[in-house]
Structure 1
Amino acid sequence: MPPRYFGRVDWRPCDSNGKFLEDPKSQPPPRTESTANDWTPFTSRLQFETADFVFQHARMSQGNIDRLLELWAASLIPYGALPPFASVQHLLETIDSIPFGDAPWTSFKARYTGDFPLNPPPWMTAEYEFAHRDPLVCVRNMLANPDFSDEFDIAPYREYDRCLKRQYTNLLSGDWAWEQADIIANDPETHGAMFCPLILGSDKTTVSVATGQNEYHPVYMSLGNVWNNVRRAHRNAILVVAFLSIPKTAPLHDRICKTSTKGLISAHESMQEPSLVYTAVKSCGIIVESSALSRDDFPRADIHELIAGDLLHQIIKGCFKEHLVDWVFAYILLEHGQTKGHEIWGQIDRRCVVSL
């Protein structure tokens, strides 16, 4: 295997508190230290077994669960005892409080709160629903997944082949991760911490085709420490953390498109104002109190470095298939008129066919 070089100092394993281990070859402790009698958050084995039976095995309806608990309580009256759960609501709340497993989904509604023109378009007065779950819980679940233990990078590294030519494989093998680790290491309070970059992506779903003025965008998240082959294999290394309803004529999208010729700085400035995009980001649990996007909310996120293009959307569709072609065609029609413009466009088409 090609050599890997970790950081500018020798890498040493440490415990969960960031203290170096006396024996670097010692094995990590078990993933759980709970005892055999620990049924948290259930109070007893009976309560756990009851919840497991009615919810997982029998799959009882809530009405039947309530009826069962009532009969159970009636049978225990002579003994002054109580059933494992007071009601079906008590049972569901206990199940939801289990600190393991997937992050629960929640939702909220939002609407445009900026200034209204004289005759506002429908999207300004409409209400939109955002479904999301806590990305921090999702990240913790990924970090705790033992399936990634042999395909996981704990620190940025630089990899070279036998000819000492730099190799770029996974996210932590790049310069950005290396530089971020150097910045983080300057803070003594972060010594012993592990750099965990997050990868976010979104694209509208097929249900957006027939949904009027709304497009629906799932927001995907992955952990940058996981190797690329794991992410491509969909082994729980990519999770959906939000499901956004975005109006097709959102003003922020128009503003970013209009300022795109001025460079990324203009686009970044356009994103500073509160908008539906802010609401979308807030739904992912990133911003809690801030009323606008700013670099202070994302200390390791630089829009100029982190917006990554892809072949389909930024090259094929963005340059050749949609935007650039439409802009050139519209310019030709404005400059030469309909008849002459279509004639010129026909010549361009024929030349493209010949060149291909």
Structure 2
Amino acid sequence: MPVPPQDNHQESLEPDPQMPSPHPSCSGDYERDVDADGYQGDMDEHLRQQSPHADVNTEFFGRGDQLYRNYHTSLNGRPCDVNGVYLPPGAPPPPPENLATDDWTPFRNRTEFEMAEFLYKHNQMPAGQIDRLLDLWASTLAKHNDNPPFADHRDLYHVIDSSPFGDVPWQCFTDEDKPWMDDEYEVWFRDPCEVARNMLANSTYANEIDYCPYREYSTEGNKRQWKDFMSGDWVWDQADKITKDPSTLGSTFVPVILGSDKTTVSVGTGNNEYYPLYASIGNIHNNVRRAHCDGVVIIGFLAMPKSIFHRQLFHLSLSKILDLLKPGMMTPEATRFRDGHYWRVIYGLGPYIVDYKEQVLLACIVRNWCPKCVANREDLDEDALPCSREFTEALVEEADSGDLWEDFGIVAQLVPFTNDFPRADIYQMISPDILHQLIKGAFKDHLMTWVEKYLRQTHNKQKAQKIMDDIDRRIAAVASFSGLRRFPQGRGFKQWTGDDSKALMKVYLPAIEGHVPQDVIRAFRALLDFCYLVHCNIITEDSLLQIEDALSRFHHYRKIFRTTDVVLHFSLPRQHSLMHYAQNIRLFAAPNGLCSSITENKRIKAILLTNQRLDKLSALQVDFTRQGMLTGTCLSAANALEGKARTQTVPALADELHIPHLPNLLRRFLFQQLHPDDPRDPSDVPLAECPLYLSKIAVFNSASLRFYAPSDLSGIGGMHTEHIHSCPSWRGGHSRNDCVFVNTDSNLPGMQGLEVACVRAFFSFQYRGEVYPCAVVHWFDKISNAADEDTGMWVVRPGEGANNTAEHAIIHIDAIYRAAHLIPMYGMEFLPQELKFYHSYDAFRTYYVNKYADHHAFEIAF
């Protein structure tokens, strides 16, 4: 196999100080900061720097394709003064407050602030442990007649509480005047207007906000694409409705996105149960909302009495909390934005993020009916018209409550809270929910359960259990991968979380192959394709066709569960929800910015005082960052971190890796680097023509890559950090050698232009003044020229050179695209119990290239 061509990426040989040393004798890292799609630095900054004053057809360039946007010209946002009077173009904002860059109020210095942020926000340390830590710290300072930053946890809390930043006070109202309620229930909330204003003024995501509804197209083919919320049809339609009132022209539309999760917090006082209400704004980009950078906040705690009246109380509470927004839904108000200008904003109620149980509650419908369409619960997948506020109100006027319940699934006694607000339709506002509908619902609760039921129906009890145990061993045998959770006991745990289900999706398909029929494999593949496609950061018209094709395949292949009597029907609300995804994407853009996993990750904050302190710390962090006070670390100014590498010779490394011809591989590598235009394959070049290198080399344990992967959990800018390991002893135990994608032809799509290799070692050396960062790799060969038809994954096997020896090469680190994950093709054989996950890359003859390892892998390994 030819050595891959060198890219033009820039390398940094600085070790990564964040990485734990896998072994005392091996502590070095390479670090590279490149884009996995061939870009360097901060990706598409020009794309994110959208001008709020853009014309209707503003052209711009992004990620290699020329795109253009049509902006809504009537609701396009313009700066104004504090009274709402529009300013002339180019007018400066009011001067900012003149703050000193050494003012850490309410803290005395940076160390105090970062200590408070670490203990209370990041580590979330209990009060008793804070006291213990500070006591130990004080004991080390006593001989210096000094004290730690805080006396105890009370002192820490007092300092945080004294901050004026981020302080949207909590309020309370009591519903006690309703004839159908026996008790009074407290509802705690914060002003949603103030919360929205704080988000609009937050400089942390200054370049991650859209001021105007827009539609985005590619100039090639004029095809539409959807990404962030403001690119959807719903917000455009809302703008049309808003601007029927001339007084709103030139304002900025701020859609308030809501979410709630009744499983979050229980308070053991009487019959009351509380759970939080979350809010975000549609202007901020999806990646900000997913990165939890204060783009989603708790605005209320709703009381849920254990009685039949909880539905009425739920809607009344929401209506009362959101009533503070209503004036701003009708008349624009001047609000200060992060650029210092005032802008006229007009609010509206946007999508609501909830799982199915709460969708039923919100839409005032009967269980097992759809909140989005009028399909009958007996056959949810029939073609049906969408639900709407007007249609429901007309039905309620004409039919009695019993017929509404039986024939339409409508609870006539309830009125949705949205009926109290302009331009709000609860049936349209209910958003797609990837976590509960697809991952927890269709994948875990449905297909995984059906597989186990199929095995127990098809085989006797002993054989079925043997197969289930083997599936667990296969899951446990999967090799480690950066960001991938391991399952040492397979599926053997009782308390499932959303993260568990998401992690198991990535490794489950190969584990059942050979134990279930082909159509079951294809049904899983279709569902996985659907899940990964709808989770993409950008969805195009072509993507929508792929989504609809995946859904069609899923509906076709899932029939095997009915023909084998595993299930009687597929009229399941969460599976039925898949039929609404294409339309929801057109309305609300990419669903990954509206998933309930965003609100589930806020659960740890669901206590009033805790939440308020966290907001204060976040607001201080934003303010200190804006003033340039948090550059580097507390220690970096006085003591820079240093990385270490093993110094070795090429023959010594050859002995360690059991690759006797490694010195010759290095000579051929050098020839290729020095003669990039030589048409010969490096293996055909006589060794006499290749340079000889006999000096020292530096061997590293891992490489740190930073690349653009916005569909995965990443920072605000969509950048993702990944570590590729290659070390003889991982954390004092077994060796670890990760696999990688190697770029062999960037002009070919997907796996056609990529090869897979296992990294045996990272090292660097200097020759004629040039530093060469390299990797010793063992190639894997593709079995065919296309992906496997059943699983959709490419199949590879360990490459063999002369005399059936492993095929090795030395490549420039620039040729590494990113980490790859391989899962063995287990076939019908049962795994031995002694097989461990760290044997995975050595114990099998063929492997799947796991495109489901993460969303970026899914996008490239096709």
Please tell me the TM-score bracket, short chain as reference.
0.5 to 0.7
Distance, in Å, in 2 between the alignment partners of 1:10 and 1:256 is 35
Paired residue for 2:207, among 150, 153, 161? 150
- With over 3 angstroms needed to count, the CA separation of the structure-2 counterparts of 1:318 and 1:127, relative to structure 1, is farther
- TM-aligned CA deviation for residue 347 of structure 1: 4.6
Distance, in Å, in 2 between the alignment partners of 1:347 and 1:192 is 64
Q: Could you tell me which residue of structure 1 aligns to residue 431 of structure 2?
A: 308
- With over 3 angstroms needed to count, the CA separation of the structure-2 counterparts of 1:15 and 1:294, relative to structure 1, is closer
Between the aligned residues of both structures, percent identity stands at 41
Q: Could you tell me which residue of structure 1 aligns to residue 257 of structure 2?
A: 199
- With over 3 angstroms needed to count, the CA separation of the structure-2 counterparts of 1:348 and 1:6, relative to structure 1, is farther
How is 1:74-153 mapped onto 2 (pairs within 5 angstroms)? 101-110=166-175, 113-115=178-180, 125-153=182-210
Q: What residue identity is the alignment partner of 2:423?
A: R
Paired residue for 1:271, among 399, 414, 418? 414
| Contact in 2 for aligned 1:102/1:138 (Cα 8 Å) | no
| Contact in 1 for aligned 2:77/2:252 (Cα 8 Å) | no
Q: Could you tell me which residue of structure 1 aligns to residue 245 of structure 2?
A: 187
Q: What residue identity is the alignment partner of 1:239?
A: V
Q: Could you tell me which residue of structure 1 aligns to residue 72 of structure 2?
A: 7
- With over 3 angstroms needed to count, the CA separation of the structure-2 counterparts of 1:165 and 1:198, relative to structure 1, is same
- With over 3 angstroms needed to count, the CA separation of the structure-2 counterparts of 1:145 and 1:316, relative to structure 1, is closer
- 1:220 and 2:278 aligned: yes
Paired residue for 1:233, among 284, 291, 297? 291
Distance, in Å, in 2 between the alignment partners of 1:31 and 1:239 is 26
Q: What residue identity is the alignment partner of 1:220?
A: Y
- With over 3 angstroms needed to count, the CA separation of the structure-2 counterparts of 1:348 and 1:105, relative to structure 1, is farther
Distance, in Å, in 2 between the alignment partners of 1:346 and 1:188 is 66
| Contact in 2 for aligned 1:111/1:128 (Cα 8 Å) | yes
Distance, in Å, in 2 between the alignment partners of 1:169 and 1:113 is 44
- TM-aligned CA deviation for residue 258 of structure 1: 4.9
- With over 3 angstroms needed to count, the CA separation of the structure-2 counterparts of 1:307 and 1:15, relative to structure 1, is same
Paired residue for 1:22, among 88, 94, 116? 88
Is the helix fraction higher in 1 or 2? 1
Deviations 1:298-330 (A, max 9, x none): 11211121111312333455667669xx9xxxx
Name structure 1 gaps, 5 residues minimum: 37-48, 58-94, 116-123, 274-292, 327-342
Distance, in Å, in 1 between the alignment partners of 2:177 and 2:77 is 51
How is 1:281-300 mapped onto 2 (pairs within 5 angstroms)? 293=417, 295=419, 297-300=420-423
Q: What residue identity is the alignment partner of 1:203?
A: D
- With over 3 angstroms needed to count, the CA separation of the structure-2 counterparts of 1:19 and 1:192, relative to structure 1, is farther
| Contact in 1 for aligned 2:77/2:212 (Cα 8 Å) | no
Deviations 1:134-161 (A, max 9, x none): 1111111112222232111111011122
| Contact in 1 for aligned 2:75/2:213 (Cα 8 Å) | no
- With over 3 angstroms needed to count, the CA separation of the structure-2 counterparts of 1:110 and 1:346, relative to structure 1, is farther
- TM-aligned CA deviation for residue 106 of structure 1: 2.3
Distance, in Å, in 1 between the alignment partners of 2:238 and 2:434 is 26
**Which structure is richer in relative contact order (CA contacts within 8 A, separation 6 or more)?**
2
Distance, in Å, in 1 between the alignment partners of 2:74 and 2:265 is 51
- With over 3 angstroms needed to count, the CA separation of the structure-2 counterparts of 1:320 and 1:231, relative to structure 1, is closer
Name structure 2 gaps, 5 residues minimum: 1-61, 100-104, 114-160, 312-359, 375-386, 393-408, 465-514, 522-862
Q: Could you tell me which residue of structure 1 aligns to residue 224 of structure 2?
A: 166
| Matched residue SS, 1:237 | coil
Deviations 1:152-192 (A, max 9, x none): 11110111223221111111111111111121112112123
Distance, in Å, in 1 between the alignment partners of 2:290 and 2:232 is 18
| Contact in 2 for aligned 1:268/1:303 (Cα 8 Å) | no
Distance, in Å, in 2 between the alignment partners of 1:348 and 1:311 is 32
| Contact in 1 for aligned 2:171/2:190 (Cα 8 Å) | yes
| Matched residue SS, 2:80 | coil
Q: What residue identity is the alignment partner of 2:277?
A: V
Q: Could you tell me which residue of structure 1 aligns to residue 383 of structure 2?
A: none
What TM-score, normalized to structure 1?
0.57
| Contact in 2 for aligned 1:103/1:138 (Cα 8 Å) | yes
Distance, in Å, in 2 between the alignment partners of 1:27 and 1:348 is 74
> Rg larger in 1 or in 2?
2
- With over 3 angstroms needed to count, the CA separation of the structure-2 counterparts of 1:304 and 1:31, relative to structure 1, is farther
- TM-aligned CA deviation for residue 102 of structure 1: 2.0
- With over 3 angstroms needed to count, the CA separation of the structure-2 counterparts of 1:192 and 1:269, relative to structure 1, is farther
Q: Could you tell me which residue of structure 2 aligns to residue 260 of structure 1?
A: 369
